[in-house]
Chains A and B, each alone.
Chain A
């Protein structure tokens, strides 16, 4: 056990954890932010995606110790009022079905649009291929990413 400080969504959380504990479980069980989901535990499904210093990572597959004192953004930290372009586009296109994969999809899409504000279909394929949606919302996710790109040019 070690005392670790996590900087989650611009707030400091001091937790007691095994340094090898996957960041996902520290976020969910110790910090109590349950928007980030568990789907596979082996970096195959993308449900657990968070931003670590702005880069999307699979929180199930990195130890909590390596995220200490770094800026982490979870789905809860995107905005307090669903106002980012990606969140608005997701609502406009009514993307989710069960919703379980969607925090991961939204975190991946947000990171994609930050580095590439006008992604092609190929760019979307590449950025989103690691994110499984069992309900099959892929066509709507593609559409919502394009809608978000448009919303971003409008502000």
Chain B
């Protein structure tokens, strides 16, 4: 590590280029601009792009006409910053590469994805590349990428020796593959009787949009429009615990809370009504979720948290639910003010991920996702200035710590015989919105921009 500190690396700005990336959504051409990016400029750009026409992702009915004749329209915009994964174990790998073969050992999430790249870069056939997995000190999506393995492999080849590469925390944090920066504007149209007649989401991001167009409340509203746009960037991004969902849920589930209030409805009842509609008379095709299972976690969390029970009135309560990675999650979070700061003291979680094989480990996973969600909602965020991130270690990147974590996280699983589905991701996204909705109950102010602690300090200073 001392040797690493002595290395003076001089970086040169890249020139603008285009690259064809073979990803989940097939082959896409990606524009990589040359500029040195700054968060303040990125924020301005996002506000500007949000006003431009965007790509239509799904349309049901005639949303334009419905909005034109609406008695009332609610419109809100949400934002969230780049996030660094910050696995406790910085990226590392062992490599021994010769002209004939390669031996690679270390922690990784998805070696199958990396092998073709290694084969190409090392110019060795796959059967000459042996990769062994070791335990991971956290992955969260970052360990699905191969930059640190290829780097280790190339160093070993150059050194003609077995080597072990360990990133310093600074390299790990600044040479990341981040959760993108996102924004979304939600609009809802109500008729004169406060019935929801149309729903519109337009989401964008750097460098990808966050929208899952076929998710709830698609299918539950007659006139529905989902649109997406993106701003090219040279900041590397990738999977981060429930990609895109982690922002969508935060924004959409906060918006539904505000919408329910405007309609004079309880936020859980309101969601259940929409889900009932989606079940009985679904709008459009390709709705991704099962309305009954979605409603199931909401009902379970309502019961287990004693949602309307007055005995909990010392808490500011927020609720949110989401479907992703084939599972359903709902949380009720209970916020109090502690030393002038918001504190999530208790959480109730209801999860439907099919059959649970190991209940205690599953509960631990959900509890961890809740803590992770609270931490990133309050504190997470990477700020760039002239192409460099301002945070490079834990003294500047604020992580959730012991006393900010809830005292109690009660986890309940829906009992059924459905084949097991995701659990690492699904409990994470709805935490952000449950927290935002509870903060509203605590302060009377809505929270739209992560990290919320920044918004809290701005909003509560003035009161």
Contact = CB atoms under 8 A, between A and B. Distances in A.
Interface string B383-410: 0000000000111000111110111110
A100 B405 contact: no
A2 to B, nearest CB: 15
B394 A139 contact: no
Contacts of B367: 136-137, 139-140
A136 B138 contact: no
Given A136-B370, A136-B400, A42 B395 contact: yes
Interface string A12-25: 00000010111001
Given A128-B402, A135-B368, A98 B138 contact: yes
Given A18-B2, A40-B169, A136-B375, A142 B402 contact: yes
A14 B87 CA distance: 33
A132 B364 contact: no
A94 interface: yes
Interface string A80-115: 000000000000001001111100000000000000
B365 A138 contact: no
A77 interface: no
Nearest to A134: B88
Given A98-B136, A138-B371, A40 B405 contact: no
Given A22-B1, A140-B364, A38 B90 contact: yes
Please classify the interface of chain A as helix (H, G, I), strand (E, B), loop, or mixed, using the class held by over half of its residues: loop
Chain B interface size, as a band, is 35 or more
Contacts of A25: 1
A129 B169 contact: no
A131 B399 CA distance: 10
B368 to A, nearest CB: 4
Nearest to A105: B402
Please classify the interface of chain B as helix (H, G, I), strand (E, B), loop, or mixed, using the class held by over half of its residues: loop
Contacts of A101: 88
B364 A97 contact: yes
A117 interface: no
A124 interface: yes
Given A44-B393, A94-B360, A131-B402, A136 B369 contact: yes
Contacts of B394: 39-40, 42, 44-45, 132
Contacts of B371: 136-139
B89 interface: yes
Contacts of B402: 124-125, 128-129, 131, 138, 141-142
Nearest to B363: A94
A117 to B, nearest CB: 19
A53 interface: no
B405 A39 contact: no
Contacts of A133: 88
Nearest to A131: B402
Contact of A139 (B361, B372, B406): B406
Contacts of B183: none
B138 A100 contact: yes
A100 B403 contact: no
Given A136-B368, A136-B369, A139-B367, A41 B1 contact: yes
A51 interface: no
B166 interface: yes
Interface of A: 18, 20-22, 25, 37-42, 44-45, 47, 94, 97-101, 121, 124-125, 128-142
6 contacts: A42-B394, A98-B137, A128-B402, A134-B399, A138-B402, A138-B405
> Which 4 interchain pairs have the tightest Cβ spacing?
A136-B371, A100-B137, A138-B405, A136-B368
Interface of B: 1-2, 86-90, 135-140, 166, 168-169, 360-361, 364-365, 367-372, 375, 393-395, 399-403, 405-409
